[in-house]
Amino acid sequence: MRNRDNERGGVNDAPAKKGRSPRESAKAARDSIDGPVRRCILSGEHDARPHLIRLALAPDGRVLPDVRAKAPGRGGWIGVTRGELETAIAKGKLKGALARAFKTGEFSIPDDLPDLIASALERNALDRLGLESRSGMLLTGSDKIATAARSGQLHALYHASDAGDDGCRKLAQAWRVGSDREGSDLKGLALPATRPILSMALGRENVVHIGLTDRNAAKRVSEALDRWLHFIGPDPVATPCETASQGASASDITGDRTAVTVHEDFE
């Protein structure tokens, strides 16, 4: 699993303090994470629940993604990339880990499980954008976003995969000016979704750029998008907008972290 500190204030990967046992170091890392914590059944690493993917058993015994963690019964949590999952499936590691999580070996892993997970994460991320759009927390249109950016009201910036370089650069510059961060690399992030896909998700016409003006809404969108993008890996589709590069700062969310409630069970 990757280091998420710079993205969402996730796991603290700082070296263990001298004299700490491995168990104490692991607990310290868990205690630095916001919200309920779960353990990835494949890597053994801990992360906040919204950053992981829950796998659950369908009534017919198939293992299916439960990205909103609503399905009843026991589940297994994973935080690996698609490539890592495919390797774990091929080597039988996922089957063994799920057998321990489910407390049974009576289940089947669909051949297209990675595809099912990717599709579910994409749908969840697009649904989240749609919800924020309907709640009035989301802007579309270069002029509206630029105005919010220059006035310091912009908290996150995203672009369609087929957005033009010029529009992306202008909005990034407006955001840096409004945030008093000129000279920094603050910029938006090109999503692996075209204009028609984003337009359908938001129920608006010709969605090229997306801006979020509420900090909490930006955090919710960031979590949904990051989980999807982490799983499918970098640059899954051709993205002409220069902000598609890894490390693009789609969100400027910051804040102090609070203590967490640690639950290491699988449910």
CATH number 3.20.20.70 is the correct assignment for the domain at 122-244:
no
Confidence of residue 254 (pLDDT cuts 50, 70, 90): very low
Pairwise pLDDT comparison (225 vs 20), residue with the higher score:
225
- CATH entry, 5-115, from 3.30.1230.10, 3.20.20.30, 3.30.479.30, 3.30.420.40: 3.30.1230.10
DSSP symbols for 6-36: HHHS----PPPPTT--HHHHHHHHHHTSSS-
Q: Could you give phi then psi for residue 59, rounded to 5 degrees?
A: -55, -30
Whether residue 219 is predicted with pLDDT greater than 60 in this model: the reply is yes
Whether residue 12 is predicted with pLDDT greater than 50 in this model: the reply is no
Q: Domain limits of the chain? A: 5-115, 122-244
- Which pLDDT tens digit goes with each residue over 39-52? 999 999 999 999 99
> Where is average pLDDT lowest: 30-34, 227-231, 245-249?
245-249
DSSP symbols for 229-241: HHHH-S--S---S
What does pLDDT average to over the chain? 83
Q: Is 5-115's fold the same as 122-244's?
A: no
pTM for the model stands at 0.79
Whether residue 266 is predicted with pLDDT greater than 90 in this model: the reply is no
Confidence of residue 35 (pLDDT cuts 50, 70, 90): confident
Predicted local distance difference test score (pLDDT) of residue 5? 40
> Where is average pLDDT lowest: 16-20, 57-61, 113-117, 149-153?
16-20
Q: Is 39 helix (H, G, I), strand (E, B) or coil?
A: strand
